[in-house]
Amino acid sequence: MRFFRFKKLVSLNTGKYLRYAIGEVILVVFGILIALQVNNWNEYRKEKIEEKKILLSLHNEISNNLESLKVVIKEKNNIIDVNQYIINNTDKNGEWKSTKSLDSLMNFISLSGWIFVPQNGVLNEIINSGKLLLIENDLIKNEIASLPQLLSLMIEEDRQYRLDLHQYFLPFFSKNYNLIEVTKYRELLENYSFRMGETNFSKSFPELLGNREFENILTIQSIWIKFSNEMSINQKRKYLEIQDLIEKEYPEVDFINLRQNLERGVFG
């Protein structure tokens, strides 16, 4: 009888301690889960801060590139317009029909190697360091991922055109035109005068204007530049699309003063 009472007492105590132990385990597990959740939330918060920082930095970098692209497109369009003007104002005998100075126009043609050199520091960091994975918005992520290929195509096109300029166009001009005459019409250097003085040789425009090869050069040059500008306009459109997506992602940000805020470390 006593044995059964003892057994019952042991059973009750065991059940009591077992429930207590299970409760302790549940509390420990619950505490661990909360700690993990807090840690995950902190990590997610850090990633969102980093994501915002890189996207706003990219927005600012794109703004700088858009300014450069604007200048390049404008200068290339000037070359196309000048080429057309020269062709339209040259008669069949190679005589210059316009009152406008041909030398002033030739500076656009001979100094026509305008290329787009983008700032890619932030873009390269996003792509090469794996930070692209931090970007949750798949549309923004895909647009950014496509940028390097588009930029490489543009750079290659400009490289090929510049190669033609130095290996074909300029050697032709050197034989048939006094290149020194163009230096009086444009200052390209900040610290030095670009003007080289007057030519020691006679000016003979018919040698240049009456040459079929010169007309072909103007035509080829314009075709190349039009194709290059088409790619530049597409690149501009891509840049603006990415900026628009970033602005929609962070409507609270002052994008007008973004550069100053980034420099001060303020982007919230």
Split at pLDDT 50, 70, 90, the class of 147 is very high
Q: What percent helix, strand, coil does the chain show, rounded to 5?
A: 75, 0, 25
With b for 16 or more beta-carbon neighbours within 10 A and e for fewer, the 199-226 pattern comes to eeeeeebeebbbbeebeebbeebbebbe
* H helix or E strand, kind and range, residue 252: none
Residue 263's identity, in one-letter code, is E
**CA-CA-CA-CA torsion sign (19, 22, 28, 29):** negative
CB 59 within 8 A of CB 247: yes
Which range is least confidently modeled, 45-49, 122-126, 259-263?
A: 259-263
Which range is least confidently modeled, 79-93, 109-123, 192-206?
A: 192-206
Sequence spans of domains, the chain: 1-36, 44-263
Query: With 90 as the cut, is the pLDDT of residue 86 above it?
Result: yes
Instruction: Please state the rounded mean pLDDT for residues 148-159.
Output: 88
CB 162 within 8 A of CB 224: no
Tokens of 236: 């501009």
Query: With 90 as the cut, is the pLDDT of residue 207 above it?
Result: no
Single pTM value for the model:
0.78
CB 102 within 8 A of CB 205: yes
> Is residue 250 helix, strand or coil?
coil
Query: With 50 as the cut, is the pLDDT of residue 6 above it?
Result: no
Query: With 60 as the cut, is the pLDDT of residue 193 above it?
Result: no
Instruction: Please state the rounded mean pLDDT for residues 155-169.
Output: 88
Tokens of 260: 């100053």
Residue 267 CB neighbour total at 10 angstroms? 18
Residue 220's identity, in one-letter code, is I
Cα(224)–Cα(124) distance, integer angstroms: 28
pLDDT tens, position by position, 104-114: 888 888 877 78
pLDDT of residue 9: 46
Per cent of the chain over pLDDT 90 is: 40
